[in-house]
Homo-oligomer: A and B are copies of this chain.
């Protein structure tokens, strides 16, 4: 296969301070489809264009943030191979039994040097989209249910040891570096946008002293028009916006950053560069990230919250 190994972001488990409030936000305002609840009380959701059983899992907890981020890999063989390679690289791995997450096979979990729990798995039940799989329908009202993102697209994570994370993701997990930011007056890469596909990115990291932090979980929208519509719906429901609507210079995507009721940041994102592993990554200086519009094309400035507010 040309697209093999790690295929795509498959699931994230998000901690919310109040489950009902979290479900209201992600199901009723975002408009994700609730596809299940498990015995632990976790709630499973997905975007209208997703085919697997779920991508977003909400867990009630005392503090907000991300429990883990799971990638779908091509098959069991790949799962076993990558587990061995991750161990060879020096990380302990753990097997989470099939069924721990609804409709999901055995998962290989490991803590990466930034302090995040990353998972790989080879199976999640195919559920199909509301448009259907044979002579699919041209429209479903789910496409306009709340903000109605197409899919969970990526997450941006904050933590230390970004250099080691880069080594792990590119040397072991098969990602390519799509764009990066160097620290002020330095060649050190302080922020990474990594892709296992030709999307603009599938996961991203920013260097940060505290490990295991979540900057945002991102949801994909069809167009700038839909990003604007998302802002209207956020406003109608008093969802607090951080940045945007604007364009990121990095990825060239349209964006709004906003917060869920627990303080987890999420993004509604559209467009974005097409990337390939043979193309050199796009390089941003620290000034480029701020005044160069890497973060915010319209305002060309660093927003303080970008560097400081994480969960």
On A, residues with C-beta under 8 Å from B are 1-8, 49, 51, 72, 74-75, 126, 133-140, 144, 150-151, 173-176, 195-199, 222-225, 228-229, 231-236, 238, 241, 244-247, 249, 254, 256, 271, 273-274, 276-280, 282-285, 287-288, 292-294, 297-300
Complex CA–CA separation, A179 to B55 (angstroms): 23
Task: Report whether B1 and A279 are in contact in the complex, using a CB–CB cutoff of 8 Å.
Answer: no
- Chain B residues, CB < 8 A from A245: 228, 245-246, 298
Complex CA–CA separation, A121 to B229 (angstroms): 36
| Other 13 A-B pairs with CB < 8 A, given A1-B176, A3-B174, A231-B297 | A1-B174, A1-B277, A4-B174, A49-B273, A51-B279, A134-B285, A134-B288, A135-B294, A139-B229, A222-B271, A235-B300, A241-B299, A241-B300
A299 to B: closest C-beta gap in Å: 6
- Chain B residues, CB < 8 A from A300: 235, 238, 241
Which of B136, B139, B246, B274 is the one whose CB lies under 8 Å from A233? B139
A188 to B: closest C-beta gap in Å: 16
